[in-house]
């Protein structure tokens, strides 16, 4: 009788340790999602800021400046629900303005333009990487949260279900081809 109780107690302790380890793993994944989202937000803000700065610098033609400024301003001011759409529109504006190598060359020839083009090229290259890191963390957390043990024992607590950040982050070819500065 006591041996059976000891085995039951050992099994319960083992299950409790396993559930605790799983809850800790899920908590670390949620912390990773928060960190990658902060990194993504920083890269998106940097891209919008550099684009806005370039639009107001006077090195672009007036029509391109207006298109780029409005898209960058909308991306910086967007509410969370509209952020993906606004960032996608900024990507489209960047492709429209910097779709041809001649436009990038014209920017680079202007005083301070080479530095501005380099900053923008770095910013548009970093956004897809940051988004990929964030979405990978979301995918890992979602996979763990789908397990029955996580749902049955409510190991996720009250944490919201993680959402991927979906946007058009295709960089302009003329900027993507530019070597890192």
Instruction: Answer whether 173's CB lies under 8 Å from 118's CB.
Output: no
Q: Which of 57, 132, 129, 67 is nearest to 95 (CA)?
A: 67
- Taking only the tens of pLDDT, the chain with its 181 residues reads 899 999 999 999 999 999 999 999 999 999 999 999 999 999 999 999 999 999 998 888 899 999 999 999 999 999 999 999 999 999 999 999 998 888 888 888 888 888 989 999 999 999 999 999 999 999 999 999 999 999 999 998 888 999 999 999 999 988 876 554 4
Q: Which residue has the tokens 């960089």?
A: 171
Instruction: Answer whether 141's CB lies under 8 Å from 36's CB.
Output: no
Residues 14, 109: Cα–Cα separation, whole Å: 68
Residues 32, 48: Cα–Cα separation, whole Å: 24
């Amino acid at each position: 009788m006591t041996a059976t109780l000891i085995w039951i107690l050992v099994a319960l302790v083992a299950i409790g340790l396993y559930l605790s380890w799983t809850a800790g793993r899920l908590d670390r994944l949620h912390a990773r999602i928060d960190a990658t989202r902060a990194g993504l937000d920083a890269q998106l803000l940097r891209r919008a800021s550099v684009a806005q700065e370039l639009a107001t610098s006077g090195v672009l033609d007036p029509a391109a400046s207006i298109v780029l400024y409005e898209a960058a301003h909308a991306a910086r001011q967007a509410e969370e629900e509209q952020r993906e759409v606004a960032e996608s529109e900024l990507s489209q504006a960047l492709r429209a303005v910097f779709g041809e190598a001649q436009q990038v060359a014209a920017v680079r020839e202007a005083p301070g333009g080479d530095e501005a083009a380099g900053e923008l090229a770095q910013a548009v290259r970093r956004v897809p990487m940051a988004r990929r890191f964030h979405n990978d963390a979301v995918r890992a957390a979602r996979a763990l949260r789908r397990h029955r043990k996580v749902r049955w024992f409510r190991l996720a607590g009250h944490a919201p279900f993680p959402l991927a950040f979906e946007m058009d982050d295709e960089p302009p070819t003329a900027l993507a081809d530019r070597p890192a500065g």
